[in-house]
Every structure is written in structure tokens, then in C-alpha cells.
């Protein structure tokens, strides 16, 4: 019964993954843009229409666009399972996989640290606010949460970069583009990365902290009024024992979901933030791929982002399985 | 030393709310002796559960405001005990079990581990000793194959088993007093009588005082030595169970007894008390029971709350116009 659940979740994930591959392939092709035209704009050459058509046809053949969509799809899937994401349309036709792997760490630096920081501060403050229910710490949280969660992170980013970056000059408004090519794991370089990452992380995490704090506060309050907490109190257990072994184990469940879903959301959010701060990660890569109708690169980035989201969801499901014994029985009762 | 395990005088509990002050408990006297089973009976919302939580000082203050003139447990005055002092006796000397064992047990911790907590945290056992003791207590309360059930989570046990486990948990420390708040309400009748029998057996075994909070008179009749009838925050009648049942003096008690379903009773014989318990924010003037009382005096009952008067050494009633003594005591 236990293994059933795990296998079911994994199969489920695999099915969604197949759907993702398919959507990834067809979504860029919905656009009317002709990639061949993109690389050889008509006004640049002084060639005749026939010559131009010939070049476009050659380009299509070279990029594999002359075949039917289904044939291209079959080839794409075949290559995908041998670990090949194809080559970008960019000059020099670099491998998509290599381009992504080069940028991925920079995006992970932003999103993982944002996630950990916001979860840590949010959960801590939320627990505190729940214990201070109705007092200043609590009402301030609830009052500010509406504004801060409604405010898109790129607005916060613009304000921060204006005030802290441009105005006061404490942090750089733009990420140092040299940083990413010269990175060598020395302490100075790590410090430099953190210095450059400060504003993007702060602007992404503000809403996140408040979100975590509010949902933690609410689940602590709900769990605290559960009957088993009264039982724990009637057992004369110490307050910290009640908090850590009875309250925490139960309120962590919704937090786990939030954390994992937050990961997929953050990577999406990073796309915009990276653009604002000129951070050379997956987001910037994705925007440029779109602007250039670089199908293979678009597909590759989307595949990576959706795989991360899928893995995060699977991890959340499996963590639930570990944390909540009721799930192990298939949630039948 | 007196054999009173719990002695309460003039317990008041109020909850200030935005719409007014809720007087949940309005000065009740209560006591239970060693080896005695006392029931506190009343309809939902009469304040019996709040009282029982106040007996153990488990109400959170604020929001609750509690006042007691006397609060003695086992001969000690605990009215001024701090939280820390209370934690030394709550869970060991005085324990409590609740209505719905499924929600009263933590869903993500194994049943056995939840019993272990008492042994480890309260009685200072080692882990291994606690496990052995927990399995032994599960056996004592009649859980089949206790060593196996020890590793189960609450949702994996049946309702009766869960209630047994909960009883075992509150019996683990050989308490001087156990409060059972509607212990059988969530169970079907066959399991109900097993659980009541178990509670009685455990009580006799070590002379524990048992306080039964319930709205079910049949449970009271079968289990309790003495009974307190509570109505809208006040005790309205008190006495030995058989006397109260055979010879109720308060119209409310009589109404409760008449509304008990019984095999062989026809529909016409089955009566009920009209209306509901008054809303705690809107209690009537004079006697709280007056609007529902068939026996009330239009003058005095409307104006003044009757005092709680002794009828005999063991009987007391709060009524201007008690039902006539049927004798036979």
C-alpha cells in the first residue's frame, strides 16, 4: 500500500512530463514568426526574391524546419531521450544544454537563497505572530501582508534599485556582467556575487516572507485549537514540547506544499527580476530566446523550468508521505 | 486529612467578547472524593466542559477570566498555582480524556509514542522502559495485540480502540482524579458500555476519583455514585444518583429524566423540555429555567434567582418551587 502511493506519484509525474514535452514542442510553433526570416531579414541583402527564397529554404532545411511538425516532433523526442536538447539558432549553433547549464547556477543562486531566506524568516515570524495574536506584531503582519503580497516583485525591485542602488549607492543597480565569467570560488568572488545578488534577493523575498509568515501564523492558530493540543496540555507537557512535537509536526504540512510550490513560482518570477537587474541567468536567457524566435533554446529553457516545477511537486508529495502517516494509507480515512 | 480529592467553591468563568460578557460558569461548588464517581450533567452549552477545564486550570487566560474562592486538589490549595506548578500535577495526578479520541490524539504520532510521553516526560522513564510500560497499559485497557497496536497511528485504530488508548494514556500515571468529558458520545452503544465498564474497573482498582461530564443520563445512571445537574452556568440539583433519578426535585432534572428514550415507552409518554438553553449573552431575569419551566411561580421565579438550598444531608436544589418529595429515600 505504501509503495503503491510512491509508484503512483512517480508515474503521475512521468505522464505530466510527457505532456510537458509535447506542449513545449508545439507552443513555440504556434507563433507565425518564421525563424529563417528572422536570421536573414529581407532588407539586409540586395538579393532578388528568388535568391532570398532559396536562402530561406536552405536555412529551413539546415534547421530541420522543412519536415512536417510531426516528423520534427518525433526527432525532437528521440534526441531528448539521448540527452540532446538540440542546437540554438544563434550564430555558431551552440548546444542548448551547454547554454542552460552555464546559466542555471546563477538562477539557482537567486531562487534557492530567496526560498530559504523567506521560508526561514517567514516561518519564524509567523510562529511569533501567532503567539502574539491580536497584538502589534500580529496586526502589523496582517495589515502589511495585503499590500506586500499584492505588490508585484518587479515593482519592489524597481523601487529598491532606485533607492538603495541609484539613490544611496549601497548596492549595484545592475549585476556585474564580468562576475559570471570570472567566477572561481574564491572568497572575494563569492562575496562579490552576494553583493550583486542582494537587491534581486531582497526584492523577490519580501512578498515571500510575508506570504510564509501569514500562512504559518494561520496554521499555527488552527493547529493550536485542535483537540490533540488540548490533550497535550492536559498531559502537562511543557510548552516547548507541545510546540515542537505536537504543533510543529502538524503545521509543517501546509508549509511544505507552499515551499515546494514556491520554488516553481520563484523561477518564473526570477525571469522578470533577472531582467530588471541584468542578472545573467535562465530568465534573461529565456527572454532573449523568445525575442529571437530561438525555438530550440525556448524549448530547452521551458523544459528545464517545468521539470524543476514537476520535481518540486513530486518532492512535496513524497515529503507528505514521510510526514503524514495518513497519506501512507492512501488517505482512505 | 480529608478524602476530598477535588474541592471547588464558587467557581466563576467569564469570557469578555465584543458583544458582551459571557458568563459561562456562575459560581459552582463541586467536590469529588477518593474512589467516588461523580457526574456533571447538562445540555450542550450549559458550561460543563468549561467547568471541567477550569477544574484542571486548562482554560487559557486571557480570554477566559476565572475566579474561585476555594480550589483544593488532594488537600492542597492550588488556587494560586502558577502554570509551572500546575504542570507538575496535570497529566500525572489529575488527567483528562475527551469526547472524540480521533481528534484528541495527534494524527502524526504513533499511539504508543503518545503514551510514552507521559512515562518519559512526566515520570522520568527511559525510552525502553516507557515502551514496555505503554504496551502494558494498552493491554490493561483491553487493546488486543498491544505490542502491534503500539506502532499504529490513531487513524489505523477503531473508535473503541482509540478511546481505550486515550484512557490508557490518562491512566498511565495512576492519577488521583480523572475527568472524562463525554467519553462515550462518539461511540456506538455496545462500545459505550465496554468503555464505561473499563472506566469503572480502573477507578475501583486504584480508588481513583472519576468525574464524568456528560449529557447522557443513561450513562450517569449506570456509572455515577453522585450527580450534579447543571443548567446555564449554575448547579440546579445535586444528590446521590439513585435518589436524583427516583425522586427528582428540580423541574429541569425531571424534564431531563422524562425525555430519556426507553424501550417500551410510547410516543405519548416521551416528553421533551420545550425551547433551548438561554443564550449566554441573553439570560432571563430571575431563575434561568423559568421560561421553560412548567412548574414556575409567575411572581417570584421571574424576579429572583433561587438559592442552592439543602434538602437533606446529601440533596440540594436550586428552585423556588421544587417538585414534591416522592419519598422512598
Nearest to B103 among A226, A324, A333 (CB): A226
Per-residue model confidence as pLDDT tens digits over A61-88: 777 777 777 888 888 888 888 878 788 7
The answer to whether position B63 is within a domain reads no
What residues make up the domain containing B236?
225-329
Task: Tell me how far apart the terminal alpha carbons of chain B are, to the nearest angstrom.
Answer: 30
Chain A: give the shortest CA distance to residue B291, in Å. 35
Residue of B nearest to A245 (CA): B109
The sign of the CA dihedral A167, A168, A171, A172 is positive
What would the pLDDT profile of B264-301 be if each residue is shown by its tens digit?
767 766 677 777 777 878 777 777 877 787 777 777 77
C-beta atoms of B91 and A241 within 8 A:
no
Chain A / chain B CB contacts < 8 angstroms: 81
Domain count, chain B: 1
Q: Is A235 on the interface with B (CB under 8 A)?
A: yes
Residue spans of the domains in chain A: they are 108-295
In this structure, the strands spanning B226-231 and B234-240 are: antiparallel
pLDDT, mean of residues B183-192:
79
Q: Which fold has domain A108-295?
A: MetI-like fold (1.10.3720)
Q: Which three three-digit cell numbers place residue A163? A: 533607492
Q: How many alpha carbons lie under 13 Å from residue A297 in its C-beta half-sphere? A: 26
Residue B306 lies in a domain: yes
What are the distances in angstroms from CA B108 to CA A170, A283, B105, B138, B166? 48, 40, 9, 19, 15
Give A230's contacts in chain B (Cβ within 8 Å): 58, 98, 104
Q: Each residue of A135-166: pLDDT tens digit? A: 888 888 888 888 877 777 778 888 887 888 77
Q: Would an 8 Å CB–CB cutoff place A226 in contact with chain B?
A: yes
Record: contact B122-A230, CB cut-off 8 A: no
Residues A284-322 pLDDT 10s: 888 888 887 788 888 888 888 888 888 888 888 888 777
In tens, the pLDDT along B208-241 reads 888 989 888 888 888 888 999 888 888 888 888 8
In 3D space, the residue among A73, A130, A115 whose CA is nearest the CA of residue A248 turns out to be: A130
Residues A45-73: b if buried by 16+ CB within 10 A, e if exposed: eeeeeeebeebbeebbeebebeeeeeebb
Residue A252 banded pLDDT, cuts 50, 70, 90: confident
pTM exceeding 0.80: no
Chain A residue whose CA is closest to B88: A236
DSSP-assigned letter for residue B325: P
Indicate which of A228, A232, A319, A326 best probes the interface with B, i.e. most B CBs within 10 Å of its own CB.
A228
- pLDDT > 70: what percent of chain A? 87
Q: What is the DSSP letter of B119?
A: I
* Assigned domain for B261 exists: yes
Instruction: Show the DSSP H helices in chain B as ranges.
Output: 48-55, 83-89, 101-104, 111-117, 127-140, 146-149, 159-171, 189-206, 217-223, 241-246, 251-258, 300-303
Mutate to test the interface with B, among A135, A234, A248, A330 (most CBs of B within 10 A): A234
The dihedral sign for the CA sequence A98, A102, A104, A105: positive
Q: Does A241 touch chain B (CB under 8 A)?
A: yes
Inter-residue contact B90 to B56 (CB < 8 Å): yes
* B122 contacts on A by Cβ (under 8 Å): 235-237
Q: Which residue of A has its CA nearest to B99?
A: A227
Strands B209-214 and B37-41: parallel
Cell digits of residue A119: 521560508
Angle between the A136-150 and A187-224 helix axes, to the nearest 10 degrees?
Answer: 120
B241 part of a folded domain:
yes
Alpha-helical (H) ranges within chain A are 2-30, 35-39, 49-63, 69-81, 96-131, 136-150, 153-160, 177-182, 187-224, 227-234, 239-241, 248-276, 282-291, 295-323, 325-328
Amino acid at each position: 500500500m505504501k509503495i503503491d502511493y510512491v509508484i503512483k506519484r512517480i508515474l503521475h509525474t512521468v505522464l505530466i512530463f510527457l505532456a510537458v514535452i509535447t506542449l513545449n514542442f508545439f507552443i513555440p510553433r504556434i507563433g507565425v514568426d518564421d525563424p529563417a526570416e528572422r536570421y536573414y531579414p529581407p532588407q539586409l541583402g540586395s538579393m532578388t526574391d528568388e535568391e532570398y527564397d532559396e536562402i530561406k529554404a536552405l536555412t529551413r532545411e539546415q534547421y530541420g524546419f522543412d519536415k512536417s511538425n510531426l516528423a520534427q516532433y518525433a526527432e525532437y523526442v528521440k534526441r531528448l531521450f539521448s540527452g540532446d536538447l538540440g542546437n540554438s539558432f544563434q550564430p555558431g549553433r551552440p548546444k542548448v544544454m551547454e547554454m542552460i547549464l552555464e546559466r542555471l547556477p546563477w538562477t539557482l543562486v537567486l531562487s534557492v537563497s530567496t526560498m530559504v531566506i523567506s521560508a526561514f524568516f517567514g516561518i519564524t515570524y509567523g510562529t511569533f505572530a501567532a503567539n502574539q495574536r491580536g497584538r502589534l506584531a500580529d496586526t502589523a503582519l496582517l495589515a502589511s501582508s495585503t499590500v506586500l503580497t499584492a505588490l508585484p516583485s518587479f515593482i519592489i525591485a524597481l523601487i529598491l534599485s532606485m533607492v538603495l542602488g541609484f539613490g544611496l549607492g549601497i548596492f549595484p543597480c545592475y549585476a556585474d556582467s564580468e562576475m559570471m565569467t570570472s567566477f572561481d570560488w574564491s572568497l572575494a568572488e563569492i562575496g562579490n556575487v552576494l553583493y550583486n545578488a542582494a537587491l534581486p534577493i531582497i526584492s523577490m523575498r519580501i512578498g515571500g516572507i510575508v506570504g510564509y509568515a501569514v500562512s504559518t501564523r494561520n496554521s499555527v492558530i488552527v493547529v493550536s485549537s485542535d483537540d490533540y493540543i488540548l490533550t497535550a496540555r492536559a498531559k502537562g507537557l511543557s510548552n516547548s514540547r507541545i510546540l515542537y512535537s505536537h504543533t510543529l509536526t502538524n503545521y509543517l504540512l501546509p508549509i511544505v506544499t507552499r515551499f515546494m510550490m514556491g520554488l516553481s513560482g520563484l523561477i518564473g518570477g526570477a525571469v522578470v527580476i533577472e531582467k530588471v537587474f541584468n542578472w545573467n541567468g535562465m530568465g534573461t536567457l529565456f527572454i532573449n530566446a523568445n525575442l529571437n524566435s530561438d525555438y530550440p533554446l525556448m524549448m530547452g529553457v521551458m523544459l528545464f523550468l517545468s521539470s524543476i516545477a514537476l520535481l518540486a511537486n513530486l518532492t512535496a508529495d513524497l515529503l507528505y508521505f514521510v510526514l503524514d502517516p495518513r497519506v501512507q494509507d492512501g488517505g482512505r480515512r | 486529612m480529608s478524602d476530598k480529592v477535588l474541592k471547588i467553591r464558587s467557581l466563576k468563568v467569564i469570557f469578555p467578547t465584543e458583544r458582551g460578557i459571557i458568563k459561562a460558569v456562575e459560581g459552582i461548588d463541586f467536590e469529588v472524593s477518593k474512589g467516588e464517581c461523580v457526574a456533571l450533567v447538562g445540555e450542550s452549552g450549559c458550561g460543563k466542559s468549561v467547568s471541567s477545564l477550569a477544574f484542571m486550570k486548562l482554560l487559557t487566560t486571557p480570554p477566559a477570566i476565572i475566579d474561585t474562592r476555594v480550589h483544593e486538589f488532594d488537600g492542597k490549595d492550588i488556587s494560586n498555582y502558577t502554570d509551572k506548578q500546575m504542570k507538575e500535577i496535570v497529566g500525572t495526578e489529575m488527567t483528562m480524556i475527551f469526547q472524540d479520541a480521533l481528534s484528541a490524539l495527534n494524527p502524526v504520532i504513533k499511539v504508543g509514542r503518545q503514551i510514552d510521553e507521559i512515562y518519559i516526560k512526566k515520570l522520568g522513564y527511559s525510552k525502553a522502559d516507557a515502551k514496555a510500560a505503554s504496551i502494558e497499559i494498552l493491554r490493561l485497557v483491553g487493546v488486543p495485540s498491544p505490542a502491534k497496536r503500539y506502532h499504529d497511528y490513531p487513524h489505523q485504530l477503531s473508535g473503541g480502540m482509540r478511546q481505550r488508548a486515550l484512557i490508557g494514556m490518562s491512566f498511565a500515571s495512576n492519577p488521583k482524579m480523572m475527568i472524562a468529558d463525554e467519553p462515550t458520545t462518539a461511540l456506538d452503544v455496545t462500545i459505550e458500555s465496554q468503555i464505561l465498564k473499563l472506566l469503572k474497573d480502573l477507578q475501583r482498582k486504584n480508588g481513583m476519583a472519576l468525574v464524568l461530564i456528560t449529557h447522557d443520563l443513561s450513562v450517569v445512571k449506570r456509572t455515577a455514585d453522585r450527580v450534579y445537574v447543571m443548567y446555564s452556568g449554575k448547579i440546579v440539583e445535586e444528590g446521590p444518583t439513585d435518589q436524583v433519578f427516583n425522586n427528582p426535585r428540580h423541574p429541569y432534572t425531571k424534564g431531563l429524566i422524562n425525555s430519556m428514550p426507553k424501550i417500551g415507552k410510547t410516543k405519548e409518554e416521551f416528553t421533551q423540555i420545550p425551547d433551548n438553553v438561554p443564550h449566554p449573552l441573553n439570560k432571563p431575569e430571575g431563575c434561568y429555567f423559568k421560561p421553560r419551566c412548567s412548574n414556575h411561580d409567575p411572581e417570584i421565579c421571574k424576579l429572583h434567582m433561587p438559592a442552592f438550598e439543602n434538602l437533606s444531608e446529601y440533596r440540594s436544589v436550586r428552585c423556588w418551587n421544587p417538585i414534591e418529595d416522592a419519598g422512598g429515600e
